[in-house]
Amino acid sequence: MTTIEKRRIVVDGEVVGCISSFQRFGYAEISYWIDKRHWGKGIATKALAEYLLEVKERPIYARAGKDNMGSIRVLEKCGFKRAGTPTTEELIFVLDQ
């Protein structure tokens, strides 16, 4: 059975996205989504940084589309490094500490 931990991302009383962690291929992985109307406001970076304080398991992986520069920057700001061989459509990141 797979356990998925999910949280809503709320700003000024409005749900603007979600963030979750789960096991994939035997490793912890994290994923998030922010409503497009709220992109570029630092919400994803803040939400991910706060969530990573709760999720203690390391290493933890994340994925971002190769052309999704916003998500790539969010992951890098939160300490993730590119890991492994990229797939045709996405990059894989890892946070070791």
pLDDT band at residue 88 under the 50/70/90 scheme: confident
Strand ranges (DSSP E) for the chain?
A: 5-11, 14-24, 27-34, 60-65, 81-82, 90-95
Q: Which residue is listed with tokens 């045709």?
A: 88
Q: What is the pLDDT of residues 59-83, one digit of tens each?
A: 999 999 989 999 999 999 999 999 8
pTM for the predicted model, two decimal places: 0.87
Least confident of 11-15, 62-66, 93-97: 93-97
Q: In CATH, what number is assigned to the domain containing residue 55?
A: 3.40.630.30
Phi, psi of 4 (to 5 degrees): -120, 125
Domain span holding position 26? 5-95
Q: How many domains does the chain have?
A: 1
